[in-house]
Structure 1
Amino acid sequence: MAGRQKLRILCFGDSLTAGYSSLGAIYHPYAEMLIQFLEMAFPEMDVEADIEGEPGETVKFGFLPRMQGLFSPKNTEGNKNYDWAIVLGGTNDLARGISDEEIFHTLKAVWDVPLRRNIKVIALTVPEPGVKVGEASAAKRIALNDAIKSYRRTNFHAFDLATAMPYFKMSPRDQQRYWDDAIHYTPDGYDFIGNKIGTFLVSLLAKEKAENHPSPAKRRRYFKDDEKVFDEEDDGQRAIDRGYVVVRRRDLD
């Protein structure tokens, strides 16, 4: 519809972005719920999301060339005018024993591609798997997530998906409802993630809107006798002692 505001989002990552479920028989990306959530929050807005999720891909060996390729001049469908890029990766790297330092170093380069094009970035932390892992592996995931949350840059935001999607703090019923296997989610699980990311993005968009369109200053209202000098005002401290205090409208503004 002409005149409607558009919001373009790039959802980038691995199988968790693709919405992989039921051993690949179902793909239900979180972006579907994200779009619905944003359009409910902002009815005047048309939301579009491109889903770039590659099952099995690692941050270290696949993310950067793929992100660069999306914006390459040789890509006839590239260089799209995205407003936001949501990036999720690291699960496959950790499973392959790649260090958290190496993953984070590459993630910064991946984020840099859209940031240099004035595209705002939401980096998601790596959610915990639905299975107990060794202490060393768990510590690497926590260290990586701490690095993501601590990173500071203009137009960069981190959303703690790991805290929003805590397998071991959920009830057995919710674990069964949201998790398809130890790594991937059911369609309900991906909808849950889309809802959580949507809530976060709505808060960022609302803040942007408030900063770009500040409320106009209230016009001072004048009332009858605003400038009149009452006899009690000339009495100074004696008037106060007698219980007289004159308060004008302008004193309250």
Structure 2
Amino acid sequence: MGNSLEPGNIPAVNFYPLGDAAIILEFGDHINRLTHQHIQATTEFLDQHPFPGLVEYVPAFTTLTIFYDPWIVSQRGSRNPYDAVMAYLAEMPYFEESSPEKSELKAIEIPVCYGGKFGPDLLYVANLHGLKPKDIIKLHTQTTYLVYMIGFAPGFPFLGGMNPAIAAPRKDKPRPRVPAGSVGIAGKQTGVYPIQTPGGWQLIGQTPLLLFNPHRDRPSLLQPGDQVQFVAITEKQFTKKKEATHEH
């Protein structure tokens, strides 16, 4: 059974235990920027003020799961570990607006070669809406997207803000192999496959960038809270950028 707090002017935040070493913070049931801001503010505070025993946290669309070491937590007081962590979380000022610096950052540009072998479903998405492929490309590139969460596969960004005019259903039968860098649409969301993996999103293009590289200091190119801008490129530019990317 969970607990809840009603901080300021946002909906109650619910707390639920997850086993004996984690707590789920539920910030609501709607995906929106305000919910995302409060989750980001919480993670920023935990980064700056980690409590003894904190192992890691995992942000999602509307939740934040906090993992802790019960043994370490239990050494610092008479409360059981769950109650001790709950007491700490209840005192956190993480319900304030997240710092404005993040929103003022320039969007990360993701070059994409649309259509053809790079985006085999572009024509399908265009026909679905009675548009031309160039219209889909225009609508897809004119938006600045927000990275709500990383999930499904290492480095896979779920992006919010896509124009609903180009929304498309997932494929009835997922592809067994989707090339790394493929840009897809599923429902009202868009995202990028960072590694080759099965997938059922409608593929409209591909980027030559490596969104996930385990050998980098920060393996995932994108992080929750980042802003993304897609930029259309030619096949020649794609090849040149891909060669340059793999040289490093």
Q: Which has the larger radius of gyration?
A: 1
TM-score range, shorter chain: under 0.3
TM-score by length of 1: 0.22
TM-score by length of 2: 0.22
The structure carrying a bigger strand percent of its residues is 2
